[in-house]
């Protein structure tokens, strides 16, 4: 895919059936500028070119829009520089997003972006995921992570704050299907099961990505 990074982002989102409006493109432009500026001082990402940021961070994060509803509560565990939490907050303003990371400087950056872009649906919390049940026992409809941990470890951290009908989504690469199969018995011990694995191609890169959807045992597929 060629063109400016804005064109790559717009084409990628149109291809996913979620065309962006001009305000959202402006938000992403500010986010990319600030990510590069802050990255000189704190380690937010190893990726530094605009094109790679758009494809490997923004469009990759936004593959989740293929399965997410427009409302409800979503938790992103180990969100680092804000992926996937911040792109989702820009594109899905009706979704209430809580973003958690153990590194305070990364959360300071995310809060800065939230204020700059007026993302009133984004709450960034500096905490270890292990402590979340104490601060937010209400529960989340969706709990996601990208580049965070093995599927069983992620599920173990997510389970205490997952609503009864909620869904855990591990964002994985091309080996997601095998990782999901290998995790089945550990998930079963937690009363969880792999509901489905969605395979997709990352726009602008054609790399394979998988979304591993995990639910409490005995519960049907999300609508």
- Known binding site: residues? 78, 83, 129-130, 146
Residue 131, both tokens: 């402590």
The CB-of-161 to ligand SAM minimum distance in angstroms stands at 12
Q: Which residues pair with 162 in a beta bridge?
A: 140
The single residue among 32, 63, 80, 110 that binds ligand SAM, judged by CB under 6 A, is 80
Largest Cα–Cα distance of the chain, in whole Å? Answer: 49
Give the residue with the Cβ less far from ligand SAM, 146 or 209: 146
Determine, following the binding rule CB under 6 A, whether residue 129 of this chain makes contact with ligand SAM. yes
Measured CA to CA, the distance from residue 54 to residue 202 in angstroms comes to 11
Determine, following the binding rule CB under 6 A, whether residue 136 of this chain makes contact with ligand SAM. no
Helix (H) or strand (E) holding 32: helix 22-39
The single residue among 31, 38, 148, 154 that binds ligand SAM, judged by CB under 6 A, is 148
Measured CA to CA, the distance from residue 111 to residue 101 in angstroms comes to 12
Q: 125: closest CA among 153, 151, 106, 144? A: 106
Determine, following the binding rule CB under 6 A, whether residue 5 of this chain makes contact with ligand SAM. no
CB 167 within 8 A of CB 141: yes
* x-marked contacts with ligand SAM along 86-125 as a string, rule CB under 6 A: --------------xxxx--x-------------------
Determine, following the binding rule CB under 6 A, whether residue 31 of this chain makes contact with ligand SAM. no
Positions in the binding site for ligand SAM (CB under 6 A): 78-81, 83, 100-103, 106, 128-130, 146-148
């Amino acid at each position: 895919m060629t063109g400016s990074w804005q064109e790559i982002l717009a084409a990628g989102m149109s291809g996913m059936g979620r065309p962006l409006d001009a305000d959202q493109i402006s938000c992403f432009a500010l986010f990319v500028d600030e990510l590069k500026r802050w990255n000189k001082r704190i380690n937010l990402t190893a990726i530094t070119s605009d094109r790679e940021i758009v494809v490997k961070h923004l469009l990759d994060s936004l593959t989740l829009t293929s399965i997410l509803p427009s409302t409800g509560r979503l938790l992103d565990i180990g969100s680092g520089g804000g992926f996937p939490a911040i792109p989702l907050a820009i594109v899905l303003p009706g979704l209430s997003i809580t973003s958690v990371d153990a590194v305070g400087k990364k959360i300071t950056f995310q809060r800065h972006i939230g204020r700059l872009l007026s993302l009133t649906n984004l709450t960034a919390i500096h905490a270890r995921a292990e402590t979340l049940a104490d601060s937010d026992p209400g529960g989340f409809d969706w709990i996601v992570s990208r580049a965070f941990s093995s599927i069983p470890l992620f599920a173990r951290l997510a389970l205490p704050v997952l609503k009864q009908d909620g869904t855990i989504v591990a964002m994985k690469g091309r080996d997601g299907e095998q990782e999901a199969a290998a995790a089945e018995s550990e998930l079963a011990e937690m009363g969880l099961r792999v509901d489905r694995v969605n395979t997709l191609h990352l726009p602008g890169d054609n790399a394979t990505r998988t979304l591993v959807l995990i639910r409490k045992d005995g519960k049907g597929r999300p609508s």
